[in-house]
Structure 1
Amino acid sequence: MSLRSWNPTMVAQAVLWILLGLLLRLEPGTATLPLLMDSVIQALAELEQKVPATMASHTASAWLLFAQDSGHHDLLHHFLLEGQNLKATKLDPQQLSPELRGLTKDVAQHGIRGRLEYGVVLAPDGSTVAVEPLLAGLEAGLQGNRVVNLPLDSTATPLDAGATFPDTGAVVLDVRATSPRLRDVPPDGASADVGAMPPNIRATDLDVKPTSPCVRPGSPDVPVTSPDVQASSPGAKARSPTTVDSLLVVTLARDLGLAFLQSPQTWSHSGLGTEGCWDQLSAPRTFTLLDSAASPVTTAFLNGALDGALLGDYLSRTPEPRPPLSALLSQYYGAGVGGDSGLRSNFRRQNAAALISAPTLTQQVWGALILLQRLEPAHPQLRGMSQERLFEVATNATKEFTEAFLGCPAIHPRCRWGAAPYRGSPRPLQLPLGFLYVHHTYVPAPPCTDFARCAADMRSMQRFHQDTRGWDDIGYSFVIGSDGYVYEGRGWHWVGAHTLGHNSRGFGVAFVGNYTAELPAKAALHTVQDVLPGCAVRAGLLRPDYALLGHRQLVRTDCPGDALFNLLRTWPRFAANVKPRTARRASRRSKREPPPMIVPATGLQ
């Protein structure tokens, strides 16, 4: 179960579904839609058709997210997002299809029960995404990327646990970006007016400002930081935050902080960012985690949180009329938002690293815990916790998140691409290893640029290695696609079959494609040169003094292709002192050796 569900007053419902009042019991025999992001997009499109915009300044999507129901709300979420005097459009749930009502029940709330993870869907790029933090980010973005003052004054008595917020009636400043670098602000720079406040919280304790501590993806601007986020000399006492960014808090900061309060994560503990497997890829229903000790901050949750933060930031900077959410999500999980191939789910980690600096995230995690402590003083994890301890938790959480998640490549596990079982008994590697051997697959020759093609190529190579070569499994440790993802072969812990005579000394990494005359995609090259080995070194899987070699330096082969090998020779880790062996040309191969032909597979299963 999620951390918030452990305390009845902290049960967090998914933003869109709770606000629409769609958490209904399934009718007997009602079949739900498959747990795909395409199903969520289909649901949003149907809702947008049934709830038209009633004001020219709002799209139907905006009204959907602001609709209210009578259910319980997360105190922190209500404080940051729902305290607005906005007209709500009511929707009769019976107007919706049974399939849609079933889907909302399935994805309404993120949680873990045993090894099963709930509230997640499979996206077209092969990643698994938690819907709850994604929708929270969309709502925060539609309201404006707000920086809210914390009620830290001693006269601002925290609310009792379980208290219900009345409508605050706050008039929120309409923050619109006329360009990625310019925001509309009041002439005097004043904050928005504040109406009625929750009990025991004064009007001066809550302030909405039209600035954000986020760095815009792809923007050359210097990060905009609040006065709280300042570099300090080593040993200097950190300044307690006085503001929080509602977008970062409701998507990532609160849950990240609570996870590390419960059980501090380290490189030796794989609970942070745990992956899992779907029961099937064509119509997924059940998602099982690979680690039974996983924390609620799984890879799926972090994917949803980052997607919510990125899309929320985009919405907050987009002038009205904003695009329908169904169209926005279709673009983001497809070719890219607004034709920008960089702003899409495949590159969420890179974009998030540009959006959120480590000092900013530390302040936001710290501020989220302070706010939660004041809103709910009886919270079992926060009761009696000192500010120094909360700062320590925020610092550790940010460090592990930025290094162990943002600093590592997104790796699709074997089950995601449909790997066949290993034949025989795998031999364990003696870690850490000292080498990284670079290959190209040659066949398949065309680079794979989407999940369906890359997964099919992986299955095709595995069949060739097992059935034609007679090997136990696909030979490579990892395979690099041109879709922004790494595909697990034999992985970090098992001896591969990639570099004859050297398989136990290094990891074999292959680029999908023939790179005799051209180079792989820049993102794929960056993954192999910096991201993958850097992550492995920090995790103790690769020695800090590791060396990088091309396949042809150790085996008589043309691999990894002339163009790629010439580039490898310019990389700092390239071991130039290894004498290259004469490549054996295809024309000189023995006729008894089967040609390296692979018939690409089709379909996902």
Structure 2
Amino acid sequence: MSPGNWKTTMVVRGILLILYGLLLQPEPGTATLPLLMDSVIQALAELEQKSPATEAGHIASMWLLSAQGSGAHNPLPRFLLEGQSLKTAKLAPPSLSPEFQGLIEEVARHGVQDGKEYGVVLAPDGSTVAVEPLLAGLETGLQGHRVVNLPLDSTATFPDIGATVPDLKATSSAHKDTSADVNSADVGTLSPNVRDTDVDAEVTFLDVRPSSTGVQVTSPDVQASSPDTKAKSPTTVDSLLMVTLARDLGLHFLQGAQTESNSGLGTEGCWDQLSLPRTFTLLDPEASPLTMAFLNGALDGALLGDYLSKVPEPRPPLSHLLNQYYGAGVAGDPGLRSNFRRQNGAALTLTPNLTQQVWGTLILLQRLEPAHPQLQGMSQEQLAQVATHAAKEFTEAFLGCPAIHPRCRWGAAPYRGSPKPLKLPLGFLYIHHTYVPARPCTDFALCAANMRSMQRFHQDTQGWDDIGYSFVVGSDGYVYEGRGWHWVGAHTRGHNSRGFGVALIGNYTAELPSEAALRAVRDELPHCAVRAGLLQPDYALLGHRQLVRTDCPGDALFNMLRTWPRFNMNVKPRTARRASGRSKRRLPLMIPLATDLQ
């Protein structure tokens, strides 16, 4: 690595750790900025502008070590950074504007208390993100991929998982595989091995450097090649997954048995307002700390940390990287953005690997904290069982399910009247297209506006109690909650109580929806509904035109539906008689081409 590139890397790492320090040791400030990811990016940009490069290269890691001691006790970041041979220096963080200082104070620590969630911000894609695990992943990625070697005395073997998990290897169709040219690299180039004698574990720094064939990086050792094999205890742990996901997943599932339909993962919530968000209230007041926002932040930290560990020098400023990731895509790749964090995260955290990482992290944590109340007295076999369950639940209940924006996120008006409950599980999925809006929505602002427009038409013009559909799928990577899983909709006349109505935003008479939207309808949404007991395992899928005289869901989409495994070919279409060109022009805005949805 050239001196110039080394200096740039240390500046970037120093900026991040200064921000980390300000998060954990805030000075009094005036919190007037909204809790938005854009505000965090602006604060980070100001830090990057004001921080002197001469200081950042010396105190970055030691600053994070000292900052960790001021918050909740978490020994893992301290353990990981003790091996860095950087000079200690007294940090003089640059002074920030009162607005940014107040913002940093508010997002200092992630936590859940009295039904409120703290340390979270609203991202441009409509998702809520915890800042703490995001920063942890960025810092670990800037260090380069590292593994923690775990010399174990136990000969415990990995238990059979046995359960079948969905195929989650596919990433977004627009996402480029940045690891195709990744090869093994030499170990120990950046720093000599450092041993912590108290826990008898070894931290290995891995060389990350550009080459003529691409980026070289050594990935942590994965003992199990499939979830059905027996493997020995893990010998290494990936520091990136350890600080973002593995630790919290393991401790969460140590707290007690979780049911398959309710793993306690991914509770959503509502902001007090979307334009200037200040308070985030969870939909389940008894939610665990592994909320949707925490998992979003942890996945974002893991994905961006993985990117930083592989990208050649000089690395981009963190404010620039976050602006791209929560915008159009990193380095011009629309697939590498927050909208597709689950698809990309599935490739990064395949179940066998994640199981080993959770198991190894619990082993390391047990050695670092022998008196930990949840880990004390736990055997290798017990930790392995917890890791197995944690990885399976995270893979199936979170990564394998679509990201669903709740009604409050898109600004839904209240339901009019009293909703009628469904008798679950149902036996059908009815597929629609909206026809109007005709253009697919590819960002949160447009999709949310479309949802509000459709709801106004259904309530004010059609006279219905609410938007008719159970769920609506955008081309932005998200599903939008309509009437949801529990209330009778107004989508398929005569059949509303027998199935869920799922609409894709757009006119699909002559063209198909995006692959991400099709995957959500075909695979992810029904898989999770069956798993949760909301949809019968032998459910059937029908196009709207098979039950109502209509052209919905459009010729192109209906022809695609006919190739899907769950499609019921025994019900013949009842396509509507084509309207004349004159009558089409007179259709008011938001009316489907054929009969109404009910």
TM-score computed with the length of structure 1 as normaliser: 0.84
Match of 1:499 in 2: 492
Match of 2:525 in 1: 532
Aligned 8 A contact 2:459 2:465 in 1: yes
Structure 1 position 541 matched with structure 2 position 534: yes
Structure 1 position 317 matched with structure 2 position 313: no
Match of 2:221 in 1: 226
For residue 522 of structure 1, report the CA deviation from its aligned partner: 1.2
Aligned 8 A contact 1:44 1:325 in 2: yes
Residues in 2 aligned to 1:222 and 1:70: alpha-carbon distance in whole angstroms: 29
- Residue 549 of structure 1 aligns to a residue whose secondary structure is strand
- Residue 106 of structure 2 aligns to a residue whose secondary structure is helix
Report 1:268-347 matches (<5 A).
Answer: 268-269=261-262, 271-347=264-340
Report 1:345-384 matches (<5 A).
Answer: 345-384=338-377
Aligned 8 A contact 2:549 2:574 in 1: yes
For residue 539 of structure 1, report the CA deviation from its aligned partner: 1.3
Residues in 2 aligned to 1:329 and 1:65: alpha-carbon distance in whole angstroms: 21
CA offset digits 1:486-521 (Å, max 9, x no partner)? 000000111000000000010000010111111111
Structure 1 position 119 matched with structure 2 position 119: yes
Match of 1:131 in 2: 131
CA gap of 1:82–1:464, structure 2 versus 1, over 3 A, is farther
For residue 595 of structure 1, report the CA deviation from its aligned partner: 3.6
Residues in 2 aligned to 1:233 and 1:528: alpha-carbon distance in whole angstroms: 29
Aligned 8 A contact 1:496 1:504 in 2: yes
CA offset digits 1:420-445 (Å, max 9, x no partner)? 00011111111111111010111111
For residue 455 of structure 1, report the CA deviation from its aligned partner: 0.4
For residue 412 of structure 1, report the CA deviation from its aligned partner: 0.1
For residue 179 of structure 1, report the CA deviation from its aligned partner: 7.3
Aligned 8 A contact 1:51 1:91 in 2: no
Match of 1:26 in 2: 28
Aligned 8 A contact 1:53 1:63 in 2: no
Match of 2:76 in 1: 76
Partner residue of 1:415 out of 408, 415, 418: 408
For residue 558 of structure 1, report the CA deviation from its aligned partner: 1.0
- The one-letter code of the counterpart of 2:481 is E
Match of 1:158 in 2: none
Report 1:48-447 matches (<5 A).
Answer: 48-54=48-54, 67-68=63-64, 70-73=66-69, 74-87=74-87, 92-93=92-93, 95-150=95-150, 152=152, 181-182=181-182, 185-186=185-186, 194=192, 197-198=195-196, 200-201=198-199, 205-208=201-204, 210=206, 226=221, 228-231=223-226, 236=230, 238-269=231-262, 271-447=264-440
Partner residue of 2:511 out of 506, 518, 521: 518
Match of 1:449 in 2: 442
- The one-letter code of the counterpart of 2:242 is V
- Residue 206 of structure 1 aligns to a residue whose secondary structure is strand
Residues in 2 aligned to 1:62 and 1:274: alpha-carbon distance in whole angstroms: 40
Structure 1 position 550 matched with structure 2 position 543: yes
- The one-letter code of the counterpart of 1:42 is Q
Report 1:456-495 matches (<5 A).
Answer: 456-495=449-488
Residues in 2 aligned to 1:92 and 1:77: alpha-carbon distance in whole angstroms: 22
- Residue 492 of structure 1 aligns to a residue whose secondary structure is coil
Aligned 8 A contact 1:126 1:416 in 2: yes
- Residue 467 of structure 1 aligns to a residue whose secondary structure is helix
For residue 227 of structure 1, report the CA deviation from its aligned partner: 5.6
Unaligned stretches of 5+ in structure 2? Answer: 1-15, 155-176, 209-213, 593-598
CA offset digits 1:550-605 (Å, max 9, x no partner)? 111111111111111111112121111102114133349999x9745379xxxxxx
Q: How many residues align?
A: 544
CA gap of 1:327–1:72, structure 2 versus 1, over 3 A, is closer
Aligned 8 A contact 2:207 2:218 in 1: no
Aligned 8 A contact 1:476 1:497 in 2: yes
Aligned 8 A contact 1:270 1:291 in 2: no
The more displaced of 66-75 and 572-581 is 66-75
Residues in 1 aligned to 2:194 and 2:510: alpha-carbon distance in whole angstroms: 68
For residue 373 of structure 1, report the CA deviation from its aligned partner: 0.7
For residue 266 of structure 1, report the CA deviation from its aligned partner: 2.6
Residue identity (%): 72
- The one-letter code of the counterpart of 2:223 is D
CA offset digits 1:468-502 (Å, max 9, x no partner)? 00000000000000100000000011100000000
- The one-letter code of the counterpart of 1:416 is R
Aligned 8 A contact 1:347 1:484 in 2: yes
CA gap of 1:562–1:93, structure 2 versus 1, over 3 A, is same
- The one-letter code of the counterpart of 1:125 is D
CA gap of 1:193–1:325, structure 2 versus 1, over 3 A, is closer
For residue 133 of structure 1, report the CA deviation from its aligned partner: 0.5
CA gap of 1:88–1:200, structure 2 versus 1, over 3 A, is closer
Residues in 2 aligned to 1:386 and 1:120: alpha-carbon distance in whole angstroms: 35
- The one-letter code of the counterpart of 2:309 is S
Match of 1:36 in 2: 36
Aligned 8 A contact 2:31 2:106 in 1: no
- The one-letter code of the counterpart of 1:268 is S
CA gap of 1:223–1:361, structure 2 versus 1, over 3 A, is farther
- Residue 95 of structure 1 aligns to a residue whose secondary structure is coil
- The one-letter code of the counterpart of 1:541 is L
CA offset digits 1:188-210 (Å, max 9, x no partner)? x56765476545355xx314153
Residues in 2 aligned to 1:179 and 1:551: alpha-carbon distance in whole angstroms: 42
CA offset digits 1:408-463 (Å, max 9, x no partner)? 00000000000000011111111111111010111111111100000010001000
Residues in 1 aligned to 2:206 and 2:482: alpha-carbon distance in whole angstroms: 47
Unaligned stretches of 5+ in structure 1? Answer: 1-13, 155-176, 213-218, 600-605
Aligned 8 A contact 2:206 2:218 in 1: no
Match of 1:8 in 2: none
- Residue 487 of structure 1 aligns to a residue whose secondary structure is strand
For residue 178 of structure 1, report the CA deviation from its aligned partner: 11
Aligned 8 A contact 1:17 1:108 in 2: no
CA gap of 1:21–1:561, structure 2 versus 1, over 3 A, is closer
Residues in 1 aligned to 2:386 and 2:299: alpha-carbon distance in whole angstroms: 20
- The one-letter code of the counterpart of 2:148 is V
Aligned 8 A contact 1:36 1:284 in 2: yes
- The one-letter code of the counterpart of 2:28 is L
Residues in 1 aligned to 2:193 and 2:567: alpha-carbon distance in whole angstroms: 63
For residue 226 of structure 1, report the CA deviation from its aligned partner: 1.8
- Residue 431 of structure 2 aligns to a residue whose secondary structure is strand
- Residue 53 of structure 2 aligns to a residue whose secondary structure is coil
Aligned 8 A contact 1:62 1:142 in 2: no
For residue 64 of structure 1, report the CA deviation from its aligned partner: 5.9
- Residue 338 of structure 1 aligns to a residue whose secondary structure is helix
TM-score computed with the length of structure 2 as normaliser: 0.85
For residue 353 of structure 1, report the CA deviation from its aligned partner: 0.5
For residue 93 of structure 1, report the CA deviation from its aligned partner: 4.4
Residues in 1 aligned to 2:383 and 2:120: alpha-carbon distance in whole angstroms: 29
- The one-letter code of the counterpart of 1:132 is E
- The one-letter code of the counterpart of 2:206 is P
For residue 293 of structure 1, report the CA deviation from its aligned partner: 2.0
Aligned 8 A contact 1:194 1:207 in 2: no
- The one-letter code of the counterpart of 2:198 is N
Match of 1:11 in 2: none
- The one-letter code of the counterpart of 2:21 is L
Match of 1:586 in 2: 579
Residues in 1 aligned to 2:98 and 2:534: alpha-carbon distance in whole angstroms: 49
- Residue 182 of structure 1 aligns to a residue whose secondary structure is coil
